[in-house]
Amino acid sequence: MVPIEWLQGAFAMRAAAYANMFDVLRETFGTDRAVEIVSEATRRMGVTMGAKFADLGPADLTGLKDRFLGGIPAGEVIFQPEVLRCDDERLEIQFHRCPLKEAWVAMGRSGEELELLCKAGGAIDGGLFKAAGFVFKGETWKPGQEGCCKLVVEPGTAA
């Protein structure tokens, strides 16, 4: 088993990479375009990851919940997920922690900048769940909120 400190270190490096790319893109193209570009890159990462959930789409939300949460190393500690709802119509998972957000805060990011980084980084979830055949309606963190992202997944349309 990998020590939790190593996982946290890996997430911190990923957060730093996102933040540095965001900074360079913002300086070059402006804030809106920087968010779009980083979001697209992370969305594509999610699409790649979505393949391992595709057999569950478009409607096995319980199977999706079990496989998704079960596949996050030390997820109970690092993300502290709370399943708010899981039935045939909707899966809702509230993350009370996020190692990316925590790393950005440790780097001095806050307010709107932190919100934009969460939005760009959170695009990975949309890519993942949509690629697996589901509808994704998640919400990323905003200033004043506790915790972090809320994943909202609904059945997709049958092919």
Q: Which CATH superfamily is domain 4-154 in?
A: Trafficking protein particle complex subunit 3 (3.30.1380.20)
**pLDDT the model gives residue 1:** 75
pTM beyond 0.85: the answer is yes
**pLDDT the model gives residue 28:** 99
Could you tell me the strand order of the sheet in which 150-154 lies? 81-86, 91-95, 150-154, 135-136
Residue 106, token pair as written in the block = 């440790």
**pLDDT the model gives residue 5:** 93
CB 90 within 8 A of CB 61: yes
CB 118 within 8 A of CB 99: no
Q: Hunting for tokens 């959170």 — which residue is that? A: 122
Residue 85, token pair as written in the block = 């709802």
Residue 159 confidence (pLDDT) above 90: no
The full set of domain ranges for the chain reads: 4-154
Residue 115, token pair as written in the block = 């919100």
% of the chain exceeding 70 in pLDDT: 99
**pLDDT the model gives residue 2:** 80
